[in-house]
Amino acid sequence: MEVLTTLPAIAVAKALSKPADTLIKKFATACGVLYQPYHKVKMAKAEATALVIKTQGQIESDRLIAIDRLIHNEERCMANEESIITKALPLLDETADAKNLDDDWLQNFITKSRNTSDEVLQETWARILAGEVNQPNSFSKKVVNLVSELGKRDAELFTLLASFTVTFFGANAIFTHDWRDPFLLENGLNFNYFKHLDYLGLISLSTIDSYKLKFSGHPSNFYEKARANLKYFNRDYLIEFSSVKTDLEKGEVEVSLIYGFAMLTQAGEQLLKICTPEPIEGFEAYLKTELAKQQITLILEPTE
């Protein structure tokens, strides 16, 4: 049996870290099982070639053509696997241990990712693999299966949507208050794109009411004047609520923030971890305007 014959560059690389070395060995073990059919195909080709010579071409040539196609496809898949794991190695944490990687999860990952030749999607697969090694159970089999059905354009649309995501009290929210807003349309988002991402299972659309984040707790959790933190990429801001509900019996206050008609699904939340969006120019002004409609003030100065 040939095991990991497509990873020579990785196998001979110098000074591999322990996490990288462990992942390569784990990957090799998993791939060895998958490559058994390929080995049989190669053997079948050799036997068929010998039979052609022996019988002076009495075998139909299209049989050999079909076998050649199978081998070519398998070689392409193996090259894809090499590319994906090569991209994943630099993303591993120093403390990561691939031994904790679930065997069934890895087999499914290899099966679903090995047909991907596009560089952008390979990067996505690499981040998923590294993310699962760094923190087991970060990506479910369902998400792996979903990613295998995504096209390059799907990934680009989700990445664009991720550029509109803010974090409020640790919760991610797609801040797209009204899909008809010129700011969204100018930046490439229209309702058809939202419907498409909803169809893919990455977001959930509400056609009745907007989604809202609610948080309650002791007044000390909200600083003075009912303030809370809001994060956009690596920028931290304060938001100040004019409307606050008070529960005197519990001694708690409640604040809420309406963020729009699209909510990340569990699959969307998991993919957000490995997304590489860019901040949208003008987003802060858009955010400030929309929050003001809810009597919420955005303090634009970063809280450093």
**pLDDT at residue 49 in the model:** 56
22, 93 contact by CB (below 8 A): no
**pLDDT at residue 17 in the model:** 73
Q: Nearest Cα to 158, choosing from 121, 132, 107, 133? A: 121
**pLDDT at residue 3 in the model:** 40
d(CA 277, CA 268): 14
d(CA 121, CA 151): 8
pTM to 2 decimals?
A: 0.74
Distances (CA, A) of 98 to 5, 54, 67, 300: 20, 49, 35, 42
**pLDDT at residue 254 in the model:** 75
**pLDDT at residue 32 in the model:** 60
85, 7 contact by CB (below 8 A): yes
**pLDDT at residue 11 in the model:** 44
Domain boundaries, the chain: 8-149, 153-299
**pLDDT at residue 33 in the model:** 44
**pLDDT at residue 112 in the model:** 92
Strand order in the sheet with 245-247: 211-217, 252-260, 245-247
Going from the first residue of the chain to its last (304 residues), give the mean pLDDT of each consecutive group of 10, the final group possibly shorter.
42 58 78 49 54 51 61 76 89 88 91 89 93 93 92 92 90 87 92 93 87 69 65 88 67 77 93 92 92 86 51
